[in-house]
Structure 1
Amino acid sequence: MILFRKAAYSQAKSVSTEYKTAIEARKDARTDCGSNVESQDVAESKLNNRRKWRAVTQKVAQQANNREHAKKCKPKQRHEECANIKKKEKRETQADLVLAARNANRTKAERASKKTAKDSEE
């Protein structure tokens, strides 16, 4: 009985790209063993329901966040201003990163030029 289940599981695993075929093979193997097919179907449907419920709760949470943001930026003009502020902050942070990188490269170049100047003096 256990061997049939293991065989059915390995068979289902090998045909994982074809989901329906795999489930049918597992059901056939289970009916050959004499085990309860309906209990497995119930477990699979519960799992699918949990996945659907998780997706729904995530969607509801996102909608709640959107509503809170809409309350803060009620008029459309304010909402556009808020979006513009976010864009401006993003641009400023990117500009700061670019400046920091340039300064780092500049200091490296200055150090290298000072070193070559000292070497040439000696």
Structure 2
Amino acid sequence: MDDGHPFDVFSKQCPSRGTLEHVTGRWGSLTIGALYEETLRFNELRRRVDGVSEKMLSQTLQALERDGLVHREAQLTNPPRVDYDLTPLGRAVAERLMGLIQLVEGRMPEVLAARERYDSVRVGRGGR
């Protein structure tokens, strides 16, 4: 490794693979993106990440918290209040992830055109 760290994501034994999966999976990336914008409570986060189930959001938050990317703060109020925000590590990851999200969003016309070309060729070949 050029930077001296012993981790290699291309090695099947490397623990960085799990973290990379948590960050780049659909719900992980959307959760990190939403928390990059602001600190959110669970139900606010669930509304922001449209389509995620309560169970999946809970599992995603637990994985991101375990990896040190998300901070969970429970306040002893009635009713109880739990806030989620990014740790400094989570914010550094989110900054890079947001760049990717913005790139994909900004280039969607090209993606949609490519899909249309691909699909028209596939139909022309009988779906093969």
- Higher strand residue share: 2
Q: Which has the higher contact order (CA 8 A, sep 6+)?
A: 2
Which is greater in Rg?
1
Normalised by the shorter chain, which TM-score bucket?
Answer: under 0.3
Using structure 1 for the length normalisation, give the TM-score: 0.27
> TM-score, normalising length from structure 2?
0.26
Q: Higher helix share goes to which structure?
A: 1
